[in-house]
Structure 1
Amino acid sequence: MIYTITFNPSLDYCIVVKDFKTGTINRTVREQIYPGGKGINVSIVLKNLGMPSTTLGFLGGFTGDEIERRLKEQKIRTDFIRVPEGMSRINVKMRSGVETEINGSGPVIGTDEMSRLYEKLALLKEGDTLVLAGSIPAGMPENVYQEILRTLEGKKIRTVVDATGALLRNVLSYHPFLVKPNHHELGALFDVKIDTKKDAAVYGEKLQQAGARNVLVSMGAKGAVLLTEDGQILEKDAPGGTLVNSVGAGDSMVAGFLAGYEKYKDYEKALWYGLCAGSASACGEGLATGAQVEKMLAEKI
């Protein structure tokens, strides 16, 4: 079973506004509401690709109720922990020529809620996969990713980390199966600018040297670079298409990679799955569907 953790889920209110102006009334021309958060996005795309998963994390208030309702409506298994105070956040994603995001803070997570999460993680079995993705809310220890991987050490659980900065750096010594920084995030780790696949491979290798088994560096329209634990450096261009919505594209790549790897046990094909899923989300209004990904894959695998 694949499990995803979203520490700070959200309702994503995605709107399109024509010629947005500050200091006056603006009206939407299109709007949609989605359950959001990086781990949740991974679970949604996995479901679209025919692969079940369980979403873990924390929910609070009426927004938390709506997030769970919408996920269950999509037949996605949930096992969230309820937070007694506060409410799950609402994130506003606005397109008006350019994309603008306003993200809420979310509730404070207490020690009791964290203890309950560790109890759930203790039930994971050999062969399971755990995806840790995204930021952490206020009140949560900054080393939480590190502590989770430490508690799972030696249990033969496949771990995937899609995070930035110290959250990513601190887990490398626990040998996660996959880490997926984008090229901006990878550059920030080493205080450099990464524009080419060659540079991505050079600095991705440094993450392997620090302990990551496989490193997938997403580069937007330029594609991706995958450094595998068996010594391959695979570079692929993106399938193409016009960018419509970048929200969830990286999460879709993670889901596609996992689905492809489960299906083929082949890193190159898993990379294609990831790229096609990421592109399908980036070039559409919502997260990648199975039909969209299969259409792109038909030309690649």
Structure 2
Amino acid sequence: MIYTCTMNPAIDLFTKFEHFKPHVVNRSVFEDYQANGKTINISFMLKKMGIDSVAIGFLGGFTGRYIEEELRKTGIRTDFVSIEGITRINTFIKAEAHEYKAVNRGPEISASAQEQLIGKISRLGPEDILFVSGSLPRGVQDSILKKISELSRKNGFDLILDVSSKTLLSCLEDQPYLIKPSDEELAAWLDVDPLSFDNEENLITAAEKLLKKGAQRILVSRGEKGTMYADREHLLFTSAPKGEVVNTACAGDTLLGTFIGSLIQNKRLEDALIFATAAGSSTAFTAGLSDLKDVPELMKQIQLTSNLKGVRES
């Protein structure tokens, strides 16, 4: 079974304004409420591909109930830990050429709630896949990521990590199935200038370092530059299709979910990466998650390049 773990979920409010100015009442011309959280988005995208998953993590209050209802409405199973407090609401504002993101911190998570979540994860086994993505809520230390990676090594389930924390580097010795940094996150982990990744050789070198530390696969989201995938046998780059960017908040989640979903459906690696790149862009071109209808057309714009030698071994 596939499990998606969101420890700091949210309701995301997407709004559009003709203008957005201080000290006056700004009235929206569009608004949309969505159950959100990085791996919640992955559950939604997998479902759109006909793949089942179980959403886990922490939920609380009337906002938590809304998220759980939205997941169940689409046929996604849930097994969240109930917490005190109210799951957060984030606001994304599009006005003229600007995008504003107001992201709230969310409730504090008790030690007992954290133990319950780790207990659920400890029951996963070799037939399971676990996605862990997004920020950590208040009260949860980065060390929880290491606990989860150690459980993946001990129990044999495939772990997919999309987190900003530098603790990820210590998780690599547990050989996660895949990690998905953005180019900016990758630069922060390795203490390099993200602009240096405009030179793809520098990006390849960075990927080599993480593979040597234990990561089995790396998927790098690069925004308008496209994507990069690397393992010990393959090195692939894609360009990104063109379109009007409406909201970038969920594009990386869509990229990751549809890439893994495509591999589960036994697509060729190259085809999976092209499909996922198009799907991620499709989400960026809409207020919410892509319905995948425009993906075939977007795929036609994407160019894939391959280094047949794969990532270099030293």
State the TM-score, normalizing by the size of structure 2.
0.90
Superposition deviation, residue 295 in structure 1: 4.6
SS of the residue 1:15 aligns to: strand
Alignment equivalent of 1:216, drawn from 210, 219, 223: 219
2:31 aligns with 31
Comparing 175-184 with 257-266, greater Cα deviation is found at: 257-266
SS of the residue 1:86 aligns to: coil
2:86 aligns with 87
Aligned counterparts, 1:236-247, within 5 A: 236-247=238-249
Instruction: Answer yes or no: is the 8 Å Cα contact 1:252–1:281 preserved in 2.
Output: yes
SS of the residue 1:243 aligns to: coil
Aligned counterparts, 1:1-301, within 5 A: 1-83=1-83, 85-96=84-95, 97-192=97-192, 193=194, 194-229=197-232, 231-264=233-266, 266-297=268-299
Instruction: Answer yes or no: is the 8 Å Cα contact 2:172–2:213 preserved in 1.
Output: yes
Superposition deviation, residue 269 in structure 1: 2.2
Instruction: Answer yes or no: is the 8 Å Cα contact 2:221–2:252 preserved in 1.
Output: yes
RMSD: 1.7
How far apart are the structure 1 equivalents of 2:219 and 2:238?
A: 11
Instruction: Answer yes or no: is the 8 Å Cα contact 2:2–2:129 preserved in 1.
Output: yes
SS of the residue 2:137 aligns to: coil
Query: How many residues are paired up?
Result: 299
Q: Evaluate the alpha carbon distance shift between residue 299 and residue 23 of structure 1 in structure 2; reply closer, same or farther with a 3 A threshold.
A: closer
How far apart are the structure 2 equivalents of 1:74 and 1:41?
A: 12
Instruction: Answer yes or no: is the 8 Å Cα contact 1:17–1:29 preserved in 2.
Output: yes
How far apart are the structure 2 equivalents of 1:50 and 1:290?
A: 12
Equivalent residue letter for 1:89: R
Comparing 165-174 with 137-146, greater Cα deviation is found at: 165-174
SS of the residue 1:246 aligns to: coil
How far apart are the structure 2 equivalents of 1:37 and 1:11?
A: 8
How far apart are the structure 2 equivalents of 1:299 and 1:98?
A: 26
Gaps of 5+ in 2: 305-314
CA offset digits 1:147-167 (Å, max 9, x no partner): 111122132211100011313
How far apart are the structure 1 equivalents of 2:244 and 2:204?
A: 26
Moved over 6 A (4+): 298-301
Superposition deviation, residue 169 in structure 1: 1.8
Equivalent residue letter for 1:216: L
How far apart are the structure 2 equivalents of 1:122 and 1:188?
A: 30
Superposition deviation, residue 35 in structure 1: 0.6
Gaps of 5+ in 1: none
How far apart are the structure 1 equivalents of 2:182 and 2:246?
A: 19
Comparing 111-120 with 11-20, greater Cα deviation is found at: 111-120
